[in-house]
Structure 1
Amino acid sequence: MALLINIDVPDLAAAVRFYEAATGLRLNRRLFGGSVAEMRGAAVPVYLLEKPEGSGAGPHVPQNRGYARHWTPLHLDFVVEDLDAAVANAIAAGATLETGPTLHAWGYIATLGDPFGHGLCFLQWTGQGYEP
């Protein structure tokens, strides 16, 4: 089985710039006439999909796309070596710091919002990840 991550964004060029500067992902190629950007640099490819604000989310979904900051139980976690530097880069790229950095039994976390309404976290392990 393969895993792909797809993130809807209203402005593909701005999203590519943000994710490159904030996370270190790199544009690998554009697809479908330039409406999709394949980003590499993580364990799985991340695809940024340009979808207009207000467009339908799907034939059986009553909501339309909105890019104001929203909460969802699914988000991206980026494991970083230097949390303070990663947070500073993300903020400089346009992210909003929401909480942290805070210490937990497994390490540090900072939660942020990207400029397109999506949540993301930066984690810095103090041991072997979530293992004690």
Structure 2
Amino acid sequence: MSIEPFKMRLRAITLDCPDPQALAAFYEQATGLEPHPASDADFAGLNGEAGLFIGFQRVADHRAPRRPDPTAPQQIHLDFAVEDLDEAEARLIELGASKPAHQPDEDRWRVLTDPAGHPFCLVGE
């Protein structure tokens, strides 16, 4: 007996952080997504393609993940397709990203962390 899958689509991704406005500004500059008009000091958002929303919510005593340390796991990460890994990496570091020492396969993708410590990957197209 086959069960019909429940139909849903990804609508939003929300990241905990200490400063929603600052993290939204980082991702706005990195992606070109538009700020959500209802953003405020405790919650900021960016409007993406096809209705996808990226949110940033203030969390007191935010503890950044420390990939690959399992005592503070990554919890979630985003992947961004880019044409040139070196160029994208340099630009994002200029915007405030950091590059952890642990890089599993630098020729195929780069692991960076945003200003609040969330890991994300750049993947070559």
State the TM-score, normalizing by the size of structure 2.
0.72
Q: After TM superposition, give the deviation of residue 101 of structure 1 in Å.
A: 6.8
1:1-132 to structure 2, matched below 5 A, reads 1-3=8-10, 4-31=12-39, 34-42=41-49, 44-53=52-61, 65-67=62-64, 69=66, 70-72=72-74, 74-98=76-100, 99=103, 102-103=106-107, 108-125=108-125
Query: CA separation in 2, counterparts of 1:100 and 1:90?
Result: 19
Query: CA separation in 2, counterparts of 1:100 and 1:87?
Result: 15
Amino acid at match of 1:39: L
Q: Determine the structure 2 residue equivalent to 1:56.
A: none
Instruction: Identify if the C-alpha distance between structure 1 residues 83 and 17 changes in structure 2 by more than 3 Å, giving closer, same or farther.
Output: same
How many residue pairs are counted as aligned between the two chains? Answer: 109
Amino acid at match of 1:96: S
Amino acid at match of 2:33: L
Asked if 1 retains the 8 angstrom alpha-carbon contact of 2:23 and 2:114, the reply is no
Asked if 2 retains the 8 angstrom alpha-carbon contact of 1:83 and 1:123, the reply is yes
Amino acid at match of 1:118: H
Cα deviation digits, residues 63-94 of structure 1 (max 9, x gap): xx413644325211011222222111210111
State the TM-score, normalizing by the size of structure 1.
0.68
Please, which runs of 5 or more residues in structure 2 have no aligned partner? Answer: 1-7, 67-71
Query: CA separation in 2, counterparts of 1:85 and 1:124?
Result: 11
Q: After TM superposition, give the deviation of residue 10 of structure 1 in Å.
A: 0.6
TM-align CA RMSD: 2.3
SS of the residue 2:16 aligns to: strand
Query: CA separation in 2, counterparts of 1:102 and 1:67?
Result: 23
Cα deviation digits, residues 26-52 of structure 1 (max 9, x gap): 312234x54222212355211111222
